[in-house]
Amino acid sequence: MELTDPLDGDARLPDAFGSAWPSVERFHRLLVDEGPVRGLIGPRETGRLWERHLLNSGAVVDQLGGVVTLIDLGSGAGLPGVVIAAMAPAVRVTLLEPMARRVAWLEHVVTELGLPNVEIVRARAEEVAGRLRADALTARAVAPLEKLYAWAAPLVVPGGQLLALKGTRAGDEMVSARESAARFGWEDPVIVTSSLLDGVEPTTVVRAVRAAGARRVR
């Protein structure tokens, strides 16, 4: 059963997403209509797609700065990668996803939304290490930081950044993964928050920079 999202029809949403609004609105509809059936989101998530998923994903765009290329690790349903691609059309976004059914969904979404700046790669992070690299890498609900630091290191250029969308325990996770950050060449991990809409819980991001002198991990 489709649940009512309290933000459906909110007049502030078009301004929050700017020129990406038509694409994001269409993506929302696809997630509502097909997401639960395809096993991409839980049935109850249709009632909180805007706050919990779409606004949460879009808020990370504020952290991109001069990023030209971006890898979204474990894209799954397309969060945050599809939203980022719609909101930042000058950024070349690679959606990296190993599962065939999810790749089929992402291809469907990219075609429906007409996103020319998106490439979809079916692979695990370790399978493309050394041949796929970008200025930034995003990850949302993929793995603990200790694993993300290892997986992301070969995929981010020196001076590039990891943007891991996390929840309320981000601080504890960052502390416990301190040794992993150093081992895989990540500097200055910090927690940053941003929001697209007043009254919506801000997105919590762990941001770390790939050390300029870090060895190339394969």
What pLDDT shows up at residue 167? 87
Task: Give the span between the Cα atoms of 180 and 194, in whole angstroms.
Answer: 26
Task: Return the sign of the alpha-carbon dihedral for residues 29, 12, 9, 2.
Answer: positive
**H helix runs in 40-156, sequence order:** 55-58, 81-87, 100-113, 125-128, 145-152
Strand partners of residue 208:
162
What pLDDT shows up at residue 215? 58
Task: Give the span between the Cα atoms of 131 and 4, in whole angstroms.
Answer: 44
| Cα angle value 44/50/55 (rounded, 5°) | 135
DSSP SS3 for 119: strand
> At 88, phi and psi to the nearest 5?
-130, 75
pLDDT (tens, 9 = 90+) of the chain, 218 residues, equals: 557 899 999 999 999 999 999 999 999 999 999 999 999 999 889 999 999 999 999 999 999 999 999 999 999 999 999 999 999 999 999 999 999 999 999 999 999 999 999 999 999 999 999 899 999 999 998 999 999 999 999 999 999 999 999 988 899 999 999 999 999 999 999 999 999 999 999 999 999 999 986 555 54
Tokens of 34: 């097909």
What pLDDT shows up at residue 141? 86
